[in-house]
């Protein structure tokens, strides 16, 4: 493993840990339940690490958060949904020339993946009404993740190792 691969692997592990911890530990009460900053790190994992490492980092971190929080029934679905979200965010971000507005647009596309993914999973678990009731929370969660990732992106971009990954 060369130095660049090792740096990417280490940052992927850190992003996975940040995703897990910020999803599991930090909970902000909202009228629809609670929201967490974990999805901002799902978006940023895709943006910083690219489609493969970003998807793995986001998916694994989110899966671990579900297991730790006592929601193992969602763990596999979360792994797939959050990995796809990071993958889509990465591709959209790279297509849009890697600017700050690209973070927002990538987050919006990623938010559609999250909302549709959990709607599909909850449809099979709880039926149409149960799945539909989760949509508002997912939309609020997506908006929070997009706002926070847009705030964090310029700060992370200042870190030389992160900037190198984004510009490659």
d(CA 161, CA 168): 11
d(CA 45, CA 90): 8
pLDDT band of 32, cuts 50, 70, 90: low
Arch. (CATH architecture) of 3-27+36-162? Orthogonal Bundle (1.10)
- At 85-106, the pLDDT tens digits run 999 999 999 999 878 899 999 9
d(CA 37, CA 22): 6
Specify the DSSP element, H or E, that contains 133.
helix 100-133
User: Which of residues 115 and 32 earns the better pLDDT score?
Assistant: 115
d(CA 143, CA 48): 20
For the chain, give every domain's residue range.
3-27+36-162
Residue 33 confidence (pLDDT): 65
pLDDT band of 1, cuts 50, 70, 90: confident
């Amino acid at each position: 493993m060369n130095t660049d691969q090792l740096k990417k692997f280490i940052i992927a592990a850190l992003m996975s840990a940040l995703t897990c911890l910020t999803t599991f530990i930090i909970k902000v009460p909202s009228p629809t339940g609670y929201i967490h900053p974990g999805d901002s790190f799902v978006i940023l994992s895709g943006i910083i690490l690219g489609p493969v490492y970003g998807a793995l980092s986001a998916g694994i971190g989110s899966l671990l958060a579900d297991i730790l929080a006592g929601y193992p029934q969602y763990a596999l679905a979360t792994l797939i949904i959050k990995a796809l979200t990071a993958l889509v965010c990465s591709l959209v971000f790279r297509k849009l020339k890697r600017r700050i507005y690209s973070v927002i647009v990538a987050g919006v596309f990623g938010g559609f993946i999250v909302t549709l993914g959990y709607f599909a999973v909850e449809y099979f678990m709880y039926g149409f009404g149960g799945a539909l009731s989760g949509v508002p929370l997912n939309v609020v969660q997506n908006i929070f993740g997009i706002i926070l990732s847009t705030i964090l992106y310029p700060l992370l971009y200042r870190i030389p190792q992160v900037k190198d990954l984004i510009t490659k």
